Amino acid sequence: MAIEAAVQTTTSVVRNWRIRFILASAVSIAAWAADDPPADLIKRVAARETQTAEAQANYTYRQSLTIDEFDKNGAIAGGYWETRDIIFSPTQQRTEQMIDRPFNNLHRIALTDEDFRDLREVQPFLLTKDQAFMYESRFKGEETMDGVDCYVIHIQPRQILQGQRLFEGLLWVDKKDYSIIRSEGQAVPQIRTTKTENLFIHFTTLRQKVDGNFWFPVTTFGDDTLYFRDGPQRIRMMIRYSQYKKFEADSKIIFDK
């Protein structure tokens, strides 16, 4: 399963920073000291993420979602897919436009309001200033990801209030400008009551630079098994964010079919 491979990579590469200090000191203590994270690292990340969110708010893009459910033999038993454009209305209000009717033949699971909230708020997670105070963070180490030297940070909610949808997991932060280039974790909380269960898969979101400056989400993927009371259920999810176009007041946005 793809998600297992991703977890193994994280476990093997992202080491505790104290262990890395001991290993690096044999080569160059001075070089490691220069790489210590800033004391206000989260504050710098939140400032950069706020700039990213402000920039992204001026872009239209296409978001495509595919979800597969599997039977006990590992064969696809059902699926859901949809495509929607995030655009601006004639009055310049940001809105969503569904492309064709969503296809749904899921038999073993049902998508909930929380799933669609996560699609908008958690999978393309941005740790902006108005979000950062809700999280506590822990520095995990350093890693070079796709040629970018990164700090690796674990974040989790300080508390979760009724109705909130938040993120818990790892962030890869560009050491040069404090942009998040990758996130891996899951939406929280998992929701269990005496009558219902609403569980959420582990996912990874990758970002790329758009117009040479800000890192925007381009892919979210997850392949996970959720353990319901009635038994385990494997689910695979893929979200693609594409066709980013900067919006101008006199722009006419035309998406490819």
Which residues contact residue 15 at a Cβ distance below 8 angstroms, ignoring those fewer than 6 apart?
A: 141
pLDDT recorded at residue 71: 97
pLDDT recorded at residue 176: 96
β partners of residue 239 = 65, 220
- pTM comes to 0.82
pLDDT recorded at residue 86: 93
Mean pLDDT of successive 10-residue stretches along the chain, which has 257 residues: 32 42 36 67 98 95 98 97 90 86 96 96 96 97 96 98 96 98 98 95 97 96 97 98 84 48
- Residue 37 is part of which domain span? 2-246
Count of other CB atoms within 10 angstroms of residue 127: 25
pLDDT recorded at residue 255: 45
**Number of structural domains found in the chain:** 1
Please give the Cα distance from 37 to 257 (Å, whole number): 45
pLDDT by residue (tens digit) across 172-216?
A: 999 999 999 999 999 999 999 999 999 999 999 999 999 999 999
Which residues contact residue 163 at a Cβ distance below 8 angstroms, ignoring those fewer than 6 apart?
A: none
254, part of any domain: no
